[in-house]
């Protein structure tokens, strides 16, 4: 019962936020078209960087998909007393972005071991396994031998890179 009341209150709050009235500028079609022109122009003005990258920083928001990211954007804006959707996150300004499909070879919803293997070794594998190909079976330890895969860490070491101490 208590939970039901909390859920209903939360829904009411969401609806209240959803119905917040537009700012005067947002009622003017030219506001949106001008924003679109500025966005397009800034992309067209961008200079293509063709240099070879010296280093790569790899940050991974585990479980962070578009939906989670959108929720974060809205919360950030609402904590600043905005409606939220209009907030620009730093990641929104990155010049290049990509999307990845995350799944395990044997399971639709992957775990972090299998996805880390995909990201760091370039090989999709079975649920609950890490650093091995899909020829290794989940929970059958003897199938690990001979099915190990190399990772970006080994490739970096082989290329003479040093690790940060």
Ligand X SMILES: *[C@@H]1O[C@H](CO)[C@@H](O)[C@H](O)[C@H]1NC(C)=O
**16 sits near ligand X (criterion: CB under 6 A):** no
Q: Could you tell me the smallest distance in angstroms from the CB atom of residue 15 to ligand X?
A: 20
Q: Which of 20, 104, 112, 163 is catalytic?
A: 112
**First and final CA of the chain: distance in angstroms?**
54
Total chain residues near ligand X (CB under 6 A): 2
Q: How far is CA 61 from CA 65, 91, 146, in A?
A: 8, 12, 31
The residues, ordered by sequence, that sit 6+ positions from 121 with a Cβ below 8 Å of its Cβ are: 131, 149, 150, 151, 152
**62 assigned binding-site residue:** yes
Is 112 known to be catalytic?
A: yes
Smallest separation (angstroms) from ligand X to the CB of 84: 13
CB closest to ligand X, residue no: 81
With 0-12 / 13-18 / 19 or more C-beta atoms within 10 angstroms meaning exposed / middle / buried, residue 129 is buried
The minimum distance between CB 79 and ligand X, in angstroms, equals 7
In terms of phi and psi (left: phi > 0; alpha: psi -120 to 50; beta: otherwise), the region of 18 is alpha
Report if residue 81 touches ligand X, rule: CB under 6 A: yes
Task: Please give the residues from 37 up to 66 whose contact with ligand X meets the rule CB under 6 A.
Answer: none
CA-CA distance, 35 to 129, in Å (whole number)?
47
Residue 27 or 80 having the CB closest to ligand X: 80
Please tell me whether residue 80 binds ligand X under the rule CB under 6 A: yes
Residues in contact with ligand X by the rule CB under 6 A: 80-81
Task: Please state the residue numbers annotated as binding site.
Answer: 62
Binding residue positions for Mg(2+): 62
Q: Which residues are catalytic?
A: 112
């Amino acid at each position: 019962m208590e939970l039901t009341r909390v859920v209903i209150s939360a829904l009411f709050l969401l609806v209240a936020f959803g119905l917040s009235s537009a700012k005067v500028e947002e009622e003017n079609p030219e506001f949106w078209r001008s924003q679109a022109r500025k966005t397009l122009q800034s992309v067209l003005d961008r200079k293509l960087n063709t240099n070879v990258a010296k280093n790569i920083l790899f940050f991974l928001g585990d479980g962070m998909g578009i939906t989670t990211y959108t929720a974060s954007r809205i919360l950030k804006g609402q904590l600043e007393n905005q409606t939220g959707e209009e907030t620009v996150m730093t990641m929104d300004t990155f010049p290049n972005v990509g999307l990845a499909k995350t799944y395990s070879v044997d399971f639709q919803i992957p775990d972090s071991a299998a996805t880390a293997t995909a990201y760091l070794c370039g090989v999709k594998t079975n649920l609950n396994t890490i650093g091995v190909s899909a020829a290794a079976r989940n929970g059958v330890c003897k199938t690990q031998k001979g099915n190990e895969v190399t990772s970006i860490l080994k490739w970096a070491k082989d290329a003479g890179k040093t690790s940060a101490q």
